[in-house]
A = this chain, B = another copy of it.
Amino acid sequence: MAINYKKELEKAAKGMILVHRPDVLIKMIVRTIVQKARVRHAGILLHDQDKDTYILTVSRGPTGLKIPAGFCRVDKDNPLIRYLSNPSRYNQLGPFLLVRDNLKRLLRRRLLPETKKLAKDILYQMEIFGAQVCIPSFFRQELLGVLFLGDKNNKRPFKQEELDFFFALASDAAMALQNARLFQGLQLQLERNERLFLSTTKALAGAIEAKDHYTRGHTERVTQLSFILGEKLLQKKFSGMTTDFLSELRIAGLLHDIGKIGVPESILNKNGELSDEERRIIQEHPIIGARIIEPIAELSFVAKGVKYHHERYDGRGYPEGLQGDGIPLIAAIIAVADCFDAMTSDRPYRQALTRQQAIEEMLAKKGSQFHPQLVDVFVELYQEGRF
């Protein structure tokens, strides 16, 4: 019998390299084997690095034949694992691939007592898994897993050529799996670091904000409002909006007021009208903020959001009096969110507006204080009940 499935399986094995989720990869391998190689069932005992045991990770075939995945766990000193881990012992039971029918035949011969015991123990394990064949899979001398196959659908014995092929396949699979694990490790570390960056920035910006007694929670609310406004703009394919822009917008939201660290507490928390000089000092906070983060090359775009979030669409804002589309979009978005939150918060010199009143105020100032299209989208979000 020609092994006509070989080409298909080889092709499938190659695609494995680019599957970077270990769990998906393993399921794919076993499913492919069952389908293409026409065996009744197949499974993989996989080494669990954390617990240093071998776990039945996936098992496929008709119900009744297969053991549920995760159900079975095998110790390192299980006879099957011990034998397969140690290629130098492979001459003890003949071929390194364990074939149940061969073991049965072997047991009919005269054997050394220890060989007999070994063969019996392994046969017992293979029967538990309903395995006709067990194939070890190594990565750099470590037994990474054991692939086991049930009987062929046509009940014929496996040929040596087929067994060799499965051994090669198992070794490919081990390599792909190792690759996927490395990939997943990097990805998890990346996610962890992104979380760490955001939460640290949030904590430090929050601590700085706490100096200003009037603005509790302001930073987080502005970040959140800017982000949903940005998301909506992205949805509407607003020119210049990208997912990268969104991540930078989030950071700019968190950092927009950090320049307040440079404003004396006595001015920041003054209970009463500010003098012109005091107002001038407060109005320096966008520049101070930008100066703090400008040395960070990766945040040059974010720095623009911080620096210009008090510019006005009509050019009457500060620090530079930029106008219309001359104001970076990232800053114009924060300006909308920032003013809305300021209007709807209590201040020592006035009560908070209701959200409805603030929305009306923003519509009134559309095109003078605010970027007109941004106000429209912001109002749309409000009407949808998004905030």
Contact surface of A with B, Cβ cutoff 8 Å: 14-15, 17-18, 20, 171-172, 175-176, 178-179, 182-183, 186-187, 189-190, 192-197, 199-201, 203-208, 210-211, 258, 261-262, 264-266, 292-293, 295-296, 298-299
Contact = CB atoms under 8 A, between A and B. Distances in A.
A258 B261 CA distance: 12
A120 to B, nearest CB: 36
Contacts of A266: 265
Given A179-B179, A208-B204, A262-B207, A189 B190 contact: yes
5 contacts: A17-B175, A20-B182, A189-B190, A200-B200, A203-B292
A274 to B, nearest CB: 18
Contacts of A211: 261
A265 B265 contact: yes
A172 B262 contact: no
A189 B186 CA distance: 10
A314 to B, nearest CB: 32
The 10 closest A-B pairs by CB, nearest first: A204-B204, A197-B197, A199-B296, A186-B186, A196-B298, A193-B193, A207-B292, A207-B261, A17-B175, A265-B265
A11 to B, nearest CB: 10
Contacts of A197: 193, 196-197, 200
Contacts of A183: 182-183, 186
A87 to B, nearest CB: 17
A17 B210 CA distance: 51
Q: Tell which of A15, A17, A206 has the most Cβ of chain B within 10 Å.
A: A17
B17 A176 contact: yes
Contacts of A172: 14
A192 B204 CA distance: 20
A273 B292 CA distance: 32
Contacts of A14: 171-172, 175
Contacts of A199: 295-296, 298
Contacts of A205: 204
Contacts of A298: 192, 195-196, 199
A203 B265 contact: no
Contacts of A210: 261-262
Nearest to A259: B207
A18 B175 contact: yes
Nearest to A264: B265
Nearest to A197: B197
A258 B179 contact: no
Given A200-B200, A203-B292, 15 more contacts: A186-B190, A189-B190, A190-B190, A192-B298, A193-B193, A199-B298, A203-B296, A204-B258, A207-B258, A208-B261, A210-B261, A210-B262, A211-B261, A265-B265, A265-B266
A293 to B, nearest CB: 6
Contacts of A261: 207-208, 210-211, 261
Nearest to A261: B207
A196 B264 contact: no
B17 A204 contact: no
A220 to B, nearest CB: 13
A48 B171 CA distance: 32
A14 to B, nearest CB: 6
A196 B299 contact: yes
Contacts of A299: 196, 200
A266 B211 CA distance: 13
Contacts of A208: 204, 207-208, 261
A287 B200 CA distance: 17
